[in-house]
Amino acid sequence: MAEEQDKLLPIANVGRIMKHILPQNAKISKEAKETMQECVSEFISFITSEASDKCHKENRKTVNGDDICWALSSLGFDNYSEVMLRYLHKFKEFERHKAKQNKDSSSCEEKDEVTSYTSSAPLELGILEKGGSSSSKPQ
């Protein structure tokens, strides 16, 4: 039983994600959280296994974001794949921008560290919305 629990996402995290999308006064039963925990853990394993198989066939040891997007698409989750590819692209752009800011600020010797960290990563995926546009709801 303990070994099976080790393969699941932490139930507190699952519950927090579920609460985020529901109205503030909604309650979630323990059974609902456990069911969702099993489902999302299985989904992640399914996608990761497909991506890992691809990497193995290509003699690579590291699964990357593009591999996950490919696996989503190849397993018929095209809508998720498209959104994830857009997110991955935005995230890479953000990381490049952050690295450039850090490089510039370190050459100016602690110019203004607070302002260089005010922007946040593009965390909104917009999966639940039609058209792929992200919501304005904070994460």
pLDDT confidence of 75, banded at 50, 70, 90? Answer: very high
Give the number of other Cβ atoms within 10 Å of residue 73's Cβ: 17
Positive or negative torsion for Cα 84, 86, 88, 94: negative
Q: What digits encode the pLDDT tens for the residues 88-130?
A: 999 999 999 999 888 887 766 555 544 444 444 444 555 444 4
Mean pLDDT, residues 76-80 taken together: 94
Higher-pLDDT residue of 130 and 56 is 56
pLDDT above 70: residue 138: no
Weakest mean pLDDT among 4-13, 20-29, 57-66, 122-131:
122-131
pLDDT above 80: residue 4: no
Domain ranges across the chain: 2-109
- What class does CATH assign to 2-109? mainly alpha
pLDDT above 80: residue 25: yes
86 vs 63: CA distance, rounded Å: 18
